[in-house]
A and B are shown apart, each in its own frame.
Chain A
């Protein structure tokens, strides 16, 4: 029995130690809002490029940037810009963060359908997430306690929302979920639930997810994020760039991947995943800065 066990372990070790030589590795880590679309891009990219291996990890924008600052990743996915403190730290560690905007994201709020609320103003949402408004009846819903769902402090979306909408700290009652998908799942089951997610998580191939209702923003009917024209026309207030942060300008495999993201195929994947592709030439001359002139695509 012992011998067969030893054999089993050795066998798995041998299998594991099979020489798998890849020529180049790209490490990508960070934003949970971006992870799905970047993984889809990476998979498609690797289909053709057999000598490049891309590994994509989530963990939140904060952990991506931290990894970049610790020298542990090639690309930091981030749905927010780097803070002054982070820029200082980068300088202190001789890291030169180069931002690349590869897509745009629409931030939406989702509610349980039974609340029958179609639209909310940004002020109301700020009040809800600051903890000032605690019952749905205060904003036109049924008499029910508001159940808050959000992300944790490592999330770029968390930071973005705090800066752009709340302008203050979150209520301590917000349940910090480990990922965006968990927020969607939780709100589906919580009759008093509200959460914030990327549009990509509630819309695939232009079809919205069942079981949750997506809130329109603004007075009266508000602007629905599902209305692509309104979003690209700038009527929906919460549209934000999605970043890749690199250490220094992109070369070799990295440049190749970024080029793929800009290609027709890459843009199609971005669109399918519920995000907005950005256009514009990506100048990737060796040694050049890789900062595109981002022009959002108009119409579909």
Chain B
């Protein structure tokens, strides 16, 4: 083997090794969670309330709470996000306003989540007097998800060929009719993927909901959007750091972590499945 080839093998070997190390690390961390907490996962865990000061029982209210607040997030962020993306993709020309909007979106994506939390407290909890509620938390998470959903939707819209639009316009459709009938439908899978990925991230966030609505322990499920709620990520945080019987509940903490991971992975997996099916039928 020439020296040159040896260098190549060595160099690439190092890269392979590093990749392997990272992959193994990821597996090890997740395996550890499973080993220490897999045994707590059963149907009862997910469908019963916490009992005896949260030292036994399940995490049902947190699952419901997370689902509920994510629903509110979706109800806000999806229409606003998709509409914004439609504007950017279909209407905006390259003038100052559209560049300003795009710059804002990119910068919003980089704002730390705790700052969204502070903003949510000041605007929704206090300013609009929504109080600490599913609504405040959901809207705060909605703002957090907005940049991601807008970007993903815009990408999806971009892949629709110009000829589609031109054809519809040529047949006399207004721009809006074109969008609804010809541009959106093929972009829908891509948009769904983006929306689901964005929502799954929102579901795992803790900092934005800390002061906008999440609670340590509630006896009842949130009945309306004005109630406080329990949530999976905050429950994990409490079990891991603030619970009075930390060691006793450690297995429950593992179980909560696994449930949260499982939920997010499931959502992401579904999102990516949509993307695969979409790519399979992608318009030429």
Contact = CB atoms under 8 A, between A and B. Distances in A.
Given A9-B71, A12-B64, A55-B228, A36 B216 contact: no
B246 A184 contact: yes
A201 interface: yes
Interface string B126-169: 00000110000000000000000000000000000000000000
B244 A177 contact: no
A108 interface: no
A85 interface: no
Nearest to A35: B244
Interface stretch (A15-23, A121-129, A277-285): A15-23
Given A1-B273, A9-B71, A181 B242 contact: yes
Given A1-B273, A39-B53, A72-B132, A16 B221 contact: yes
B246 A182 contact: yes
Nearest to B241: A178
Interface string B100-136: 0000000000000000000000000000000110000
Interface in B179-218: 188, 192, 196, 215-218
Contacts of A159: none
A264 B110 CA distance: 56
A99 interface: no
Contacts of A13: 67-68, 71
B241 to A, nearest CB: 4
B241 A179 contact: yes
Contact of B192 (A2, A43, A201): A2
A1 B274 contact: yes
A247 interface: no
B172 interface: no
Contact of B64 (A15, A58, A179, A184): A15
Contacts of A18: 221, 223
A40 B51 CA distance: 10
Contact of B67 (A16, A46, A58, A178): A16
B173 interface: no
B228 A182 contact: no
Given A1-B270, A1-B274, A55-B217, A9 B223 contact: no
Contacts of B43: none
A180 interface: yes
Given A20-B223, A36-B245, A43-B53, A58 B74 contact: no
B227 to A, nearest CB: 9
Given A16-B221, A55-B217, A56-B217, A181 B74 contact: no
Contacts of B68: 12-13, 16
A177 B241 contact: yes
A32 interface: yes
B216 A17 contact: no
B219 interface: yes
B74 A9 contact: yes
A58 B216 contact: yes
A213 to B, nearest CB: 17
Given A16-B68, A39-B217, A55-B228, A181 B223 contact: no
B52 interface: yes
Contacts of B70: 9
A19 B220 CA distance: 10
Determine which residue in A5, A181, A200 has the highest number of CB atoms from chain B within 10 A of its CB, and name it: A181
Contacts of A46: 219
A144 to B, nearest CB: 24
A16 B135 CA distance: 13
B245 A55 contact: no
B224 interface: yes
B131 to A, nearest CB: 8
A80 interface: no
Contacts of B223: 16-21
Determine which residue in A17, A19, A32, A200 has the highest number of CB atoms from chain B within 10 A of its CB, and name it: A17
B38 interface: no
B221 A20 contact: yes
14 contacts: A12-B71, A13-B71, A20-B220, A35-B244, A36-B53, A36-B244, A36-B245, A43-B51, A72-B132, A179-B242, A181-B241, A185-B246, A200-B244, A201-B244
Given A9-B74, A182-B246, 12 more contacts: A1-B270, A9-B70, A12-B64, A12-B71, A16-B65, A19-B223, A20-B223, A36-B245, A55-B216, A56-B216, A178-B241, A181-B242
Interface of A: 1-2, 5, 9, 12-13, 15-22, 32, 35-36, 39-40, 43, 46, 53-59, 72, 177-182, 184-185, 200-201
* Nearest 5 pairs of A and B residues by beta carbon: A179-B242, A36-B244, A12-B67, A181-B246, A178-B241
